[in-house]
Amino acid sequence: MTFSPELEQRFAAMAAKYPEGRQKACLIPMLMYAQDETGYMTEELKEEIAKRLNISVLEVNEVVGYYTMMRKKRMGKTHLQICTNISCLLWDGDKLWERACAKLGIGHNEVTADGTISLEEVECIGACSWAPAIQVNYDFQHNVTPEQLDKLIDDLRKA
């Protein structure tokens, strides 16, 4: 399987960052950066990374099964993550979550039928002083109002 030249360059530089013989350390970063291109942990990706690190696919699956950000299926073009943990809850993050579910007609880790948006109720994302907070793919949005959430979803639908 092929990756972008930038990703290949990143991979090439990675091995030297860990002690000789301990290149399995590259596994999580490789999977995470590759996921940006494949969308999720495809069988092909797991086999490719296993081959490159000279480990079994089972070892890759062990890791993929553990980490929440390693996606087990294709998510939406935009992945909307809403925090409802304690500090966000105190600023009605749970209501934002319910609003997004109702508006999109999907729930936790589900994708809209057209594949544009997926939703995830996330645990603390480290934006507690700027609650309620969400992440749109990797970008943070702070102090989100219900109106802002509505507009965001409407804009994403149009895009």
Residue 96 C-beta: closest distance to another protein, Å:
14
Distance (Å, whole) CA 109 – CA 55: 29
Of 24 and 157, the one with the shorter C-beta distance to another protein is 24
29 binds another protein (CB under 8 A): yes
Q: With contact defined as beta carbons under 8 Å apart, do 100 and 56 qualify?
A: no
Where helices occur in the chain by DSSP H, the ranges are 5-14, 27-38, 43-53, 57-66, 86-89, 93-104, 146-158
Residue 114 C-beta: closest distance to another protein, Å:
26
Residue 27: how many CB atoms within 10 A of its CB? Answer: 19
Pattern of binders to another protein over 92-121, x per CB under 8 A? Answer: ------------------------------
19 binds another protein (CB under 8 A): yes
Name the residue with tokens 């936790």: 108
Which residues, 49 to 88, sit near another protein by CB under 8 A? 53, 62-63, 66-70, 84-87
